[in-house]
Protein backbone atom coordinates (compact mmCIF):
# COMPACT_ATOMS: atom_id res chain seq x y z
CA UNK A 1 0.00 0.00 0.00
CA UNK A 2 1.21 3.49 -0.73
CA UNK A 3 1.25 5.29 2.63
CA UNK A 4 1.47 8.77 1.17
CA UNK A 5 -1.51 8.55 -1.16
CA UNK A 6 -4.92 9.92 -0.32
CA UNK A 7 -6.58 6.79 -1.63
CA UNK A 8 -5.38 3.26 -0.89
CA UNK A 9 -3.62 1.74 -3.87
CA UNK A 10 -0.91 -0.78 -4.51
CA UNK A 11 2.49 0.75 -5.09
CA UNK A 12 3.77 -0.28 -8.50
CA UNK A 13 7.35 0.81 -7.91
CA UNK A 14 8.27 -1.66 -5.20
CA UNK A 15 11.89 -2.73 -5.34
CA UNK A 16 12.73 -6.40 -5.42
CA UNK A 17 14.53 -7.60 -2.33
CA UNK A 18 18.21 -6.86 -2.55
CA UNK A 19 20.74 -9.57 -1.90
CA UNK A 20 23.25 -8.62 0.72
CA UNK A 21 26.76 -8.31 -0.56
CA UNK A 22 29.27 -10.03 1.64
CA UNK A 23 32.53 -8.17 1.89
CA UNK A 24 35.22 -10.20 3.57
CA UNK A 25 37.13 -8.40 6.27
CA UNK A 26 40.52 -9.48 7.33
CA UNK A 27 43.00 -8.16 9.85
CA UNK A 28 43.91 -5.28 7.52
CA UNK A 29 40.30 -4.27 6.84
CA UNK A 30 38.23 -2.63 9.57
CA UNK A 31 34.51 -3.36 9.45
CA UNK A 32 33.75 -0.46 11.76
CA UNK A 33 31.80 -2.60 14.19
CA UNK A 34 34.64 -2.54 16.73
CA UNK A 35 34.85 1.24 16.91
CA UNK A 36 32.74 2.54 19.81
CA UNK A 37 32.55 6.01 18.24
CA UNK A 38 31.15 4.63 15.00
CA UNK A 39 28.66 2.50 16.91
CA UNK A 40 27.53 5.52 18.97
CA UNK A 41 27.15 7.57 15.80
CA UNK A 42 25.17 4.80 14.11
CA UNK A 43 22.94 4.46 17.18
CA UNK A 44 22.31 8.21 17.25
CA UNK A 45 21.43 8.22 13.56
CA UNK A 46 19.13 5.25 14.15
CA UNK A 47 17.32 7.07 16.96
CA UNK A 48 17.03 10.17 14.81
CA UNK A 49 15.63 8.05 11.99
CA UNK A 50 13.04 6.58 14.36
CA UNK A 51 12.09 10.09 15.52
CA UNK A 52 11.58 11.22 11.92
CA UNK A 53 9.48 8.12 11.21
CA UNK A 54 7.29 8.87 14.23
CA UNK A 55 6.84 12.50 13.12
CA UNK A 56 5.95 11.27 9.62
CA UNK A 57 3.31 8.94 11.03
CA UNK A 58 1.93 11.74 13.22
CA UNK A 59 1.72 14.11 10.25
CA UNK A 60 -0.10 11.47 8.17
CA UNK A 61 -2.59 10.98 10.99
CA UNK A 62 -3.16 14.72 11.29
CA UNK A 63 -3.56 14.99 7.50
CA UNK A 64 -6.21 12.26 7.55
CA UNK A 65 -8.03 14.10 10.34
CA UNK A 66 -7.86 17.36 8.35
CA UNK A 67 -9.32 15.59 5.30
CA UNK A 68 -12.14 14.31 7.50
CA UNK A 69 -12.83 17.82 8.80
CA UNK A 70 -12.75 19.12 5.22
CA UNK A 71 -15.35 16.57 4.16
CA UNK A 72 -17.58 17.50 7.10
CA UNK A 73 -17.25 21.20 6.30
CA UNK A 74 -18.15 20.57 2.65
CA UNK A 75 -21.21 18.61 3.75
CA UNK A 76 -22.30 21.60 5.86
CA UNK A 77 -21.69 23.93 2.92
CA UNK A 78 -18.84 25.76 4.69
CA UNK A 79 -16.53 25.98 1.70
CA UNK A 80 -14.08 28.40 3.37
CA UNK A 81 -13.36 26.00 6.21
CA UNK A 82 -13.27 23.06 3.81
CA UNK A 83 -10.68 24.79 1.64
CA UNK A 84 -8.55 25.62 4.66
CA UNK A 85 -8.70 22.01 5.87
CA UNK A 86 -7.80 20.66 2.42
CA UNK A 87 -4.85 23.05 2.35
CA UNK A 88 -3.82 21.96 5.84
CA UNK A 89 -4.02 18.30 4.80
CA UNK A 90 -1.84 18.95 1.75
CA UNK A 91 0.77 20.70 3.89
CA UNK A 92 0.76 17.86 6.39
CA UNK A 93 1.19 15.37 3.54
CA UNK A 94 4.28 17.31 2.48
CA UNK A 95 5.60 17.31 6.03
CA UNK A 96 5.04 13.57 6.28
CA UNK A 97 6.86 12.95 3.00
CA UNK A 98 9.80 15.10 4.14
CA UNK A 99 10.05 13.32 7.50
CA UNK A 100 9.84 9.90 5.83
CA UNK A 101 12.59 10.82 3.37
CA UNK A 102 14.79 12.16 6.17
CA UNK A 103 14.22 8.98 8.20
CA UNK A 104 15.25 6.88 5.20
CA UNK A 105 18.40 8.93 4.62
CA UNK A 106 19.44 8.77 8.27
CA UNK A 107 18.77 5.04 8.46
CA UNK A 108 21.03 4.48 5.45
CA UNK A 109 23.69 6.74 6.98
CA UNK A 110 23.55 4.76 10.23
CA UNK A 111 23.97 1.49 8.37
CA UNK A 112 26.83 2.87 6.30
CA UNK A 113 28.58 4.27 9.35
CA UNK A 114 28.35 1.03 11.27
CA UNK A 115 29.48 -1.22 8.43
CA UNK A 116 31.92 0.88 6.41
CA UNK A 117 34.82 -1.14 5.06
CA UNK A 118 36.42 1.64 3.06
CA UNK A 119 36.81 4.36 5.67
CA UNK A 120 39.15 3.66 8.59
CA UNK A 121 37.34 3.69 11.93
CA UNK A 122 39.48 6.54 13.26
CA UNK A 123 38.47 8.80 10.37
CA UNK A 124 34.71 8.15 10.55
CA UNK A 125 33.92 10.34 13.55
CA UNK A 126 34.88 13.63 11.94
CA UNK A 127 37.98 15.69 12.59
CA UNK A 128 39.22 15.05 16.12
CA UNK A 129 42.56 16.86 16.01
CA UNK A 130 45.10 18.25 13.65
CA UNK A 131 45.93 21.67 12.36
CA UNK A 132 43.70 24.50 13.46
CA UNK A 133 41.34 25.99 10.95
CA UNK A 134 42.98 28.65 8.81
CA UNK A 135 42.48 32.19 10.06
CA UNK A 136 42.84 35.52 8.39
CA UNK A 137 41.30 36.85 5.25
CA UNK A 138 40.44 34.14 2.79
CA UNK A 139 38.65 34.34 -0.50
CA UNK A 140 35.22 35.90 -0.11
CA UNK A 141 35.64 36.81 3.55
CA UNK A 142 35.14 40.25 5.00
CA UNK A 143 38.35 41.75 6.36
CA UNK A 144 38.51 42.48 10.09
CA UNK A 145 37.17 45.90 11.11
CA UNK A 146 40.61 47.21 12.17
CA UNK A 147 42.06 46.79 8.69
CA UNK A 148 39.22 48.56 6.89
CA UNK A 149 40.32 51.65 4.95
CA UNK A 150 39.13 54.90 6.47
CA UNK A 151 37.99 57.90 4.57
CA UNK A 152 39.85 61.08 5.35
CA UNK A 153 38.05 64.34 4.64
Average pLDDT over residues 80-85: 95
Task: Judge whether 72 lies within some domain.
Answer: yes
Task: Judge whether 19 lies within some domain.
Answer: no
What total of structural domains would you count in the chain?
1
Residue 18: its pLDDT value, please? 44
What is the 3 state secondary structure string of the chain?
CCCCCCCCCCCCCCCCCCCCCCCCCCCCCCCCCCCHHHHHHHHHHHHHHHHHHHHHHHHHHHHHHHHHHHHHHHHHCCHHHHHHHHHHHHHHHHHHHHHHHHHHHHHHHHHHHHHCCCCCHHHHCCCCCCCCCCCCCCCCCCCCHHHCCCCCC
Task: Judge whether 83 lies within some domain.
Answer: yes
Task: Judge whether 77 lies within some domain.
Answer: yes
Model confidence pLDDT, tens digit, residues 23-61:
444 444 444 456 677 777 777 777 888 888 888 999 999
- Domain extent, residue 68, equals 44-114
Residue 69: its pLDDT value, please? 95
Model confidence pLDDT, tens digit, residues 97-144:
999 998 888 888 887 877 777 655 555 555 455 555 555 555 566 655
Amino acid sequence: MNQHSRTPQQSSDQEPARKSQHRPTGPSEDSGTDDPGALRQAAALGRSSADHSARSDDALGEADAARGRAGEAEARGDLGTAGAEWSNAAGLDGTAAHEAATAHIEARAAAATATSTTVPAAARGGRKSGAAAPTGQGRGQTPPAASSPRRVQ
